[in-house]
Amino acid sequence: MLNPLVDTRDVKFVLFELLDVDKLTKFEVYADFDHDTFDATIDLAEQISYDVIYPTAEDGDKNPAKWDPATKAVTLPPSYKGAMDAYFEAGFGSIYDNPEIGGMGMPFTIAMSSLEFVTAANYSLFMYPGLSHGAMELIEEYGTHEQWEMYGAKILTGEWGGSMCLTEPDAGSDVGALKTKAVKQADGTYKISGQKIFISGGENDYYANMIHPVLARIEGDPKGTKGISIFIVPKFLVNKDGSMGAFNDVTCTGIEHKMGIHGQATSQLAFGDNGNCVGYLLGEERQGMKIMFKMMNMARMGTALMGQANASAAYMHAVTYAKNRIQGCDVTQMLNPDAPGIPIANHPDVKRMLLYMKSHLEGQRVLINLMYNQFDIIKGSVNEDDKKEANALIEILTPILKAGCTDKGLDIASTAMQTYGGYGYCKDYPIVRYMSDAKILAIWEGTNGIQAMDLMMRKILMNKEQKNYAALRKRMDETVAKAKGIVDEKYLNLFDAATKQLDELIEFFKTQMATGKFLNIFAQATPFLDAMYIVAMAWAHVWTLTVAQPKMQEIVGDAKGADRDKLIADNAEAAFYTGKVLSSQFYIGTELPKFSGRAQAILFNEGAVVKANPNIFTGALAE
Ligand SMILES: Cc1cc2nc3c(=O)[nH]c(=O)nc-3n(C[C@H](O)[C@H](O)[C@H](O)COP(=O)(O)OP(=O)(O)OC[C@H]3O[C@@H](n4cnc5c(N)ncnc54)[C@H](O)[C@@H]3O)c2cc1C
């Protein structure tokens, strides 16, 4: 049966046929697992997501999170509690955590591909346990044993929640500008005062207590990011015996009214308005940014997944709609007034839209799972070189996928709406929700502009010997070597030319860097990320063809025309592999060539952006 949110067969293709995750069981840390457990976990994620979590998406839209100005409390949409309970009861809340702390210890790759289903069903709900888990991981890694026992352990079980408190009114992308203050007390604790805004899930009625990791500057510490420390700030203080104590002066002063994700309480939090907010240092003083980066990096990868999953749900709806909406006749019968109407999925332009969405989503699924798979290699492998390469791949793929999957995610949701025609624009159908929910993903966790600068500077130009890029190119070359003799040369030639041009771009930027053309580099960061996303995706498709083409050949053989159509209509596997091959050929043949134009534009090195000045944008000088 077709899952209406995620193509489960494709998830299993990526996991078991492409990445061969079963081989993870050879690592000692995963020796207790086997293929059947992995497979059953994906099936369970699919079932819970569709049966329990998916209905909450519409509920969240119709009954948004509400803030009561009298009590300052937030009430979540009515269906959220039961769905979150089911999520924890099924074990997804601690699926990849180490068994020593009470987790299931599953590979990251299986955990995160399970989350594709959960986030496709309603990512705004998932963010409550998702961000809480991120806060828990900070305490696990950087907290003391006592802090773990007091706070972390209760977040892991889902009893308490957590958040991520960076943003302030004057400190968004520039976190270093924050004003929240910490004053050291004689007992070693800190008095916290300040305001955080846009805090996802910051206040809610699901968790009995909220444990906020808060970035603040200790009195007297230097300006900028270097002077930032991080504190555990519970909403209610915790007594020595672990029970909840007095209110800790953390007040929700309102929630935002947003374009989408209406079930998500995006909270304004006031810390210490009455001078009574206690914070506990996490890690060491002035290490706040380094520590928070762990959570931010995970959240960036999670945002890539949400972008892909939200778009997947939009696409799956569009496929079902297009197969059922009768409109117009076969293009070859256009002049025949008696020609019967056909489902729009048969019209070439609609097929083009569907293939466009399918090919992007499938390529993203490969790269996202590949990225998560690197964590399993780091955790399980004993080979230091493999671990280093895995780390380099994570580093470089994170900004590409955070920005690429979220920008394209909005575009895919828009294409899904186009597929529906006018009905897609109406709220009776779910595509409006997917489009509205998609946009924020390009903004938070470091805007996509910030991701582009991160890719260009930290991940490539300032990365020693460009090791991150070298790791990616090595893997691309290995894929091409395997593809030779399997994948049609015309696709391999296109990919080969693109990788060479990508090398040329990197050399171009290295020269710009060496000659101090920093403004040029920053002006080209987003075009460069967009271009690099295209090549990375094409790599995923070359790899896919290498695996899928022989399997298609095995089942479909040389069948053509009506014979092939009948085979595809009767045999789901024939349809699946044919779909995989066409999707990858479409991507390499029609999307990859766009890279060359982008590369040319970058190399042309137009200086208009650098020359532009805020006064040139309108005819009159605006304030
Ligand atoms: C629904 C929602 C949920 C959120 N959840 C959280 C959360 O849980 N925790 C949290 O701490 N924050 C959260 N945020 C805040 C979010 O991370 C910020 O909105 C984001 O980082 C951008 O900051 P800003 O809105 O102040 O925009 P600004 O930083 O003012 O940016 C505006 C524009 O300028 C660009 N820009 C800014 N600086 C530069 C630069 N140096 N170079 C080039 N371009 C630049 C940006 O890319 C952007 O296009 C959330 C926001 C929203 C809307």
pLDDT tens digits, 423-451: 999 999 999 999 999 999 999 999 999 99
CB 366, CB 18: distance < 8 Å = yes
Instruction: Using CB atoms within 10 Å of the CB of residue 274, give its burial: 0 to 12 exposed, 13 to 18 middle, 19+ buried.
Output: exposed
**Residues 386-416 as b or e (16 or more Cβ within 10 Å = b):** ebebbbbbbbbbbbbbbbbbbbbbbebbbbb
Please count the other Cβ atoms lying within 10 Å of the Cβ belonging to residue 239.
11
Residue to substitute in 174, 198, 451 for testing ligand 1 pocket (most ligand atoms within 8 angstroms of CB): 198
The whole-number pLDDT of residue 623 equals 66
The whole-number pLDDT of residue 202 equals 98
The tokens describing 323, both together, are 């197969």
| Alpha carbon of 435 to ligand 1 centroid (Å) | 20
CB 280, CB 189: distance < 8 Å = yes
pLDDT tens digits, 272-321: 999 999 999 999 999 999 999 999 999 999 999 999 999 999 999 999 99
CB 139, CB 106: distance < 8 Å = no
pLDDT tens digits, 512-549: 999 999 999 999 999 999 999 999 999 999 999 999 99
Residue to substitute in 138, 164, 173, 203 for testing ligand 1 pocket (most ligand atoms within 8 angstroms of CB): 173
Arithmetic mean of pLDDT, 179-186: 98
Q: Which amino acid is at 163?
A: S
The whole-number pLDDT of residue 359 equals 98
With bands split at pLDDT 50, 70 and 90, how would you rate the model's confidence at 2?
low
Residue closest by Cα to atom 20 of ligand 1: 444
| Alpha carbon of 29 to ligand 1 centroid (Å) | 38
Cβ of 510 closer than 6 Å to ligand 1, yes or no, is no
Cβ of 214 closer than 6 Å to ligand 1, yes or no, is no
The tokens describing 207, both together, are 């968790």
Arithmetic mean of pLDDT, 492-514: 97
How large a percentage of the chain has pLDDT more than 70? 99
Is 0.75 surpassed by the pTM of this model?
yes
- Give 288's contacts (C-beta < 8 A, 6+ positions apart): 215, 216, 228, 229, 230
Domains and CATH numbers, the chain: 8-66+77-156 (1.10.540.10), 161-286 (2.40.110.20), 469-614 (no CATH)
Cβ of 471 closer than 6 Å to ligand 1, yes or no, is no
The tokens describing 381, both together, are 């492998």
Cβ of 328 closer than 6 Å to ligand 1, yes or no, is no
Task: Say whether pLDDT at 345 is over 90.
Answer: yes
| Alpha carbon of 173 to ligand 1 centroid (Å) | 5
CA distance 582 to 351: 11
Please, what is the angle between helix 525-556 and helix 348-380, to 10°?
100
With bands split at pLDDT 50, 70 and 90, how would you rate the model's confidence at 1?
low
Residue closest by Cα to atom 13 of ligand 1: 198
Q: Which residue has the tokens 């980066």?
A: 293
Cβ of 37 closer than 6 Å to ligand 1, yes or no, is no
Task: Say whether pLDDT at 414 is over 90.
Answer: yes
Phi–psi pair at 158, nearest 5 degrees: 90, 5
Task: Say whether pLDDT at 193 is over 90.
Answer: yes
Cβ of 123 closer than 6 Å to ligand 1, yes or no, is no
The rounded mean pLDDT for the chain is 97
- Reply yes or no on whether 140 is catalytic: no
The whole-number pLDDT of residue 621 equals 78
Q: Provide the terminal-to-terminal Cα distance of the chain, rounded to the nearest Å.
A: 58
CB 175, CB 198: distance < 8 Å = no
Alpha-carbon Rg of the chain, whole angstroms? 25
| Alpha carbon of 345 to ligand 1 centroid (Å) | 39
> Quick one: CA dihedral 4, 7, 9, 15, positive or negative?
negative
Selected catalytic residue, list 28, 445, 507, 573: 445
CB 12, CB 42: distance < 8 Å = yes
Cβ of 450 closer than 6 Å to ligand 1, yes or no, is yes
Q: Which amino acid is at 209?
A: N
Residue closest by Cα to atom 50 of ligand 1: 198
Q: How many CA atoms lie within 13 A of 88 on its CB side?
A: 22
pLDDT tens digits, 46-86: 999 999 999 999 999 999 999 999 999 999 999 999 999 99
Task: Say whether pLDDT at 4 is over 90.
Answer: no
Arithmetic mean of pLDDT, 403-430: 97
Cβ of 451 closer than 6 Å to ligand 1, yes or no, is no
The whole-number pLDDT of residue 620 equals 82
Residue closest by Cα to atom 7 of ligand 1: 199
Question: Among candidates 113, 67, 65, 68, which has minimal Cα distance to 92?
Answer: 113
